[in-house]
């Protein structure tokens, strides 16, 4: 029995070490799992603009400059927003659309974090609002968290959320149920806590076959929004393929042209 007990304790000790090692790895690599910066995909012909934020100069592009209404777009965690220039140019010819890559993305300096992305979004809005009568915001996936934060702190006129989540914490907890994510996670993007303070009319686009953001995470966010958003579910669409469906552009165009 003594030998068996020793082996049992040794097994428990090794299992505990393995668990703590995995938890430590998650903690120290969490931003590598959340942000996927990519280099500039190709030169962009549209007009360039820049935003100064926390000592950095972030560069982006404005589509259809000089319009009365503006839209600022926040992309997903691995998205190269410059690829959306053709889409917005064709869909919203009467709207100035601002594409600002996150810090660390598409050649911009710095490293992404929740606090940094929020600060950059506020700076971008203030610069854009000085040139336009009204500013709408649109966020996709990770960008939905940035867009909700912006709409909670600035007078965003209309808000579009594509495949949004309630919080990164809740999504991550479902993916790593063995770990106390709330104590490990630094960048939580708790959109549901801010949703009730957003008063802009909102369009929520949901991918019917989303394997990245579970439907309950989206619905929990929607349940905290007031007024109730317009919710459009695109059956069969995936998290990354939702924009390939014609109903995606139709819903956005219909909402932002009103």
- Asked whether the beta carbons of 162 and 240 are under 8 A apart, the reply is no
Query: Exposure pattern of 80-89 as b/e (b: 16+ CB <10 Å)?
Result: bbbebbebbe
| DSSP SS3 for 10 | helix
What average pLDDT score do residues 161-168 get?
98
Confidence (pTM): 0.94
Model pLDDT for residues 40-88, shown as the tens digit of each residue: 987 787 899 999 999 999 999 999 999 999 999 999 999 999 999 999 9
Model pLDDT for residues 171-183, shown as the tens digit of each residue: 999 999 999 999 9
Model pLDDT for residues 114-162, shown as the tens digit of each residue: 999 999 999 999 999 999 999 999 999 999 999 999 999 999 999 999 9
- All structural domains of the chain with their residue ranges: 35-257
Q: What is the mean pLDDT of the chain?
A: 95
- pLDDT bracket for residue 1 (50, 70, 90): low
| Dist. CA 21–CA 50, nearest whole Å | 42
Superfamily assignment of 35-257 in CATH? Alpha/Beta hydrolase fold, catalytic domain (3.40.50.1820)
Q: Please list the residues that pair with 63 across neighbouring strands.
A: 97
Q: What is the DSSP letter of 243?
A: G
3-state secondary structure 163-196: CCCCCHHHHHHHHCCCCCHHHHCCCCCCHHHHHC
Model pLDDT for residues 207-254, shown as the tens digit of each residue: 999 999 999 999 999 999 988 999 999 999 999 999 999 999 999 999
């Amino acid at each position: 029995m003594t030998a068996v007990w020793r082996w049992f304790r040794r097994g428990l000790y090794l299992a505990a070490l393995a668990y703590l090692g995995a938890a430590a790895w998650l903690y120290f690599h969490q931003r590598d799992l959340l942000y996927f910066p990519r280099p500039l995909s190709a030169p962009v012909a549209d007009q360039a603009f820049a935003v100064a934020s926390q000592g950095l100069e972030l560069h982006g592009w404005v589509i259809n400059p000089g319009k009365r209404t503006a839209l600022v777009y926040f992309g997903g965690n691995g998205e190269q927003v410059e690829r959306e220039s053709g889409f917005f140019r064709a869909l919203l010819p009467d709207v100035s659309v601002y594409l600002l890559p996150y810090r660390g993305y598409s050649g911009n300096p710095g490293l992404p974090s929740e606090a940094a992305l929020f600060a950059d979004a506020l700076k971008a809005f203030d610069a854009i609002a000085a040139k336009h009568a009204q500013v709408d915001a649109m966020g996709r996936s990770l960008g939905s968290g940035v867009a909700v934060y912006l709409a909670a702190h600035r007078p965003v006129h209309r808000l579009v959320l594509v495949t949004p989540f309630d919080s990164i914490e809740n999504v991550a907890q479902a993916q790593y149920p063995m770990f106390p994510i709330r104590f490990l996670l630094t960048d939580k993007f708790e959109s549901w806590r801010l949703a009730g303070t957003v008063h802009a009319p909102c369009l929520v686009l949901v991918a019917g076959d989303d394997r990245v953001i579970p439907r309950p995470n989206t619905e929990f966010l929607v349940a905290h929004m007031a007024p109730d958003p317009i919710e459009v579910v695109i059956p069969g669409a995936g998290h990354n393929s939702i924009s390939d469906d014609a109903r995606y552009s139709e819903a956005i165009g219909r909402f932002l042209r009103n």
